Structure 1
């Protein structure tokens, strides 16, 4: 873990991604300090230009755009982190268990993964979200987890297969350790970078997909997050009426959060691929 932290600290992509992620985490933790107010509160005037009282102006309903953007960081991060974490846990359970146990369990779990992989993801998640439209955020998370775990399971299975017959695992078997102990304490620590990269990829998929569904009106439009802000901005023709910030700022926040996860994902992909590290060192030495 210490080596991993040192490697992250020396990676520019990881640092940039962490800084962006920390900014949004701060917005999610203390929104009332950064932008005090109720995102549902309606002011006297609608579609106001930026001013001292409303730095990003107001929506077509007279709500403060800055307050909605800051308070919208919490549900956006909640969807990304929780859905990404649950999808990663499911990927680990299916992929690593199938690879380590082999035989019948590998056949069954691998068949399940293949079936989910060949199902078109976007139509499936749209159907699930449409059927449960305007329900709680938990339904959105479930839909994202159901459609987002299979690709990671396939990657983790391949990695676990390459490690299954290594000497340190054979030594653990000879000591008489249980399979659960070997998987958790011997196998998974050697797959840390891939598991973290899988989580970041799942979080990226979750925030982009959830925002797209909310923009289409397939989420709970009565909540205040970046996706529903885009929905209402489009619904009220914000760009045509000159309320550019109402649509641009939440869209920019979604793009930045996605960029943060993508940068961290690429960084951990480099950390997990030893062939990339010496290439960078050779280029630096040549320079």
Structure 2
């Protein structure tokens, strides 16, 4: 019987650990509200009581179960973080690559837009917008964070696209009459995989921290997430009451999720970059006169390696 083998990407220890941590939180986001022993808003007689068999993570000032609050709040963190991360990544891809490849005023106009959003103070802008909008849904927060978090990645993609657009395989595709969007999609985009993946993970981390920060300062506290737990702990002086169980579990959850995203980012980097996998010790071995085909892009570019160049 054939033995099942893990995909090459998951053979990387960092990627495997990061993927398992993310899978754990994704499962909690799906089933958290089902397995929570109490409603996060249900009050009780035991106020500010430490961990026990009845309340694993203790209770808050109204006797509400903190463990249930964390379980139910996981869904808001994951949904808002990844949805806003997808929006910001798509915007950075479209604007960053287009501004780096398109000539003339079109590319310059997109670059100016990126520069404008880059200098905007993101967190104060988020606070102003979300505090002035209705608090009855998470999509306002998702759109606000996603539309204000793409500029930095767009600048990185633009800089890399400017470097790639004069490469031989791009010139070869242009010479054969390929359309602009085909060149971008099949010649330039595959070479930006590591930057896109890293930018997406970084954006998700930023959006999660932004959402938690908004809840921590008292904005959008109508829906439970980890920042809401920290908001109530801070507003009720949990530290002064030595109620460590009120804020430590939420902080540990934030740190663990951030660690999982960072490990996944490192694993993706090593998977798409052979130099990181081989530690920079990879050598090219070939014979004189052998014709090599470049592996970047889809348009083949043939070159002849002279004797001594591969040594």
- Give the alignment's TM-score, normalised by structure 1: 0.86
SS at match of 2:247: helix
Aligned partners of 1:114, 1:135: CA distance in 2, in Å? 32
Task: Specify the alignment match of 1:42 in structure 2.
Answer: 43
Give the whole-Å Cα distance in 2 for the aligned partners of 1:39 and 1:105.
51
- Secondary structure of the 2:63 match is coil
Answer with 1 or 2: which has the greater Rg.
2
Instruction: Compare 93-102 and 114-123 and name the one that shifted more.
Output: 114-123
Q: Which residue of 2 is the match for residue 111 of structure 1? A: 112
Q: How big is each residue's C-alpha offset from its partner over 1:190-225, in whole Å with a ceiling of 9 and x where there is no partner?
A: 32222111100100111112111210112x212111
| Distance across 2 between alignment mates of 1:91 and 1:242 | 44
Asked whether the equivalents of residues 229 and 247 of structure 1 are also in contact (C-alpha less than 8 Å), the reply is yes
Using the TM superposition, give the Cα deviation of residue 34 of structure 1 relative to its aligned residue in structure 2, in angstroms.
3.7
Deviation at 1:36, TM superposition (A): 4.2
Q: In 1, are the aligned partners of 2:96 and 2:154 still within 8 Å (CA)? A: yes
Match of 2:187 in 1: 186
Query: Counterpart in 1 of 2:131?
Result: 130
Q: Which residue in 2 is equivalent to 1:76?
A: 77
SS of alignment partner, residue 217 of structure 1 = coil
**Structure-2 separation of matches of 1:45 and 1:258:** 33
CA contact (8 A) 1:226 1:250 kept: yes
How do residues 223-242 of structure 1 correspond to structure 2 at under 5 angstroms? Answer: 223-242=223-242
Moved more, 143-152 or 86-95: 143-152
- Gap regions ≥5 residues in structure 1: 283-287
In 2, Cα distance between equivalents of 1:77 and 1:168: 39
Rounded Cα–Cα distance in structure 1 between residues aligned with 2:276 and 2:123: 33
1:214 aligns with 2:215: yes
Question: 1:31 maps to which residue?
Answer: 32
Q: Do the aligned residues in 1 keep the contact of 2:66 with 2:246 (CA within 8 Å)?
A: yes
- Superposed CA deviations along residues 21-79 of structure 1, whole A, max 9, x for unmatched, are 11111100111454344222223322222222221122221211111111111100111
Distance change >3 Å, CA 172–CA 54, structure 1 → 2 = same
Q: Quick check: which one's helix share is greater?
A: 1
The runs of 5 or more residues in structure 2 that have no matched partner are 1-5, 283-311
Name the counterpart of 1:263. Answer: 263
Partner of 1:285: none
Question: Is the CA contact (8 Å cut-off) linking 1:57 and 1:66 kept in structure 2?
Answer: yes
State the number of aligned residues.
277
Per mean C-alpha deviation after superposition, the further-off stretch among 136-145 and 205-214 is 136-145
Q: Distance in 2 between matches of 1:148 and 1:48?
A: 39
Inter-partner Cα distance in structure 1 for 2:49 and 2:37: 18
Q: For 1:72, what is the secondary structure of its paired residue?
A: helix
Deviations 1:137-166 (A, max 9, x none): 222222212321011001111222222233
Aligned-partner Cα distance in 2 for 1:27–1:165: 47
Secondary structure of the residue that 1:29 maps to in structure 2? helix
Q: 1:196 to 1:250 in 2, by over 3 A?
A: same
Cα distance in 2, alignment partners of residues 30 and 55 from structure 1? 18
Q: Is the 8 A contact 2:69 2:224 kept in 1?
A: yes
Q: Measure how far apart 1:94 and its partner are.
A: 0.2
Taking structure 1 as reference, are residues 115 and 273 closer, same or farther at Cα in structure 2, changes over 3 Å only?
farther
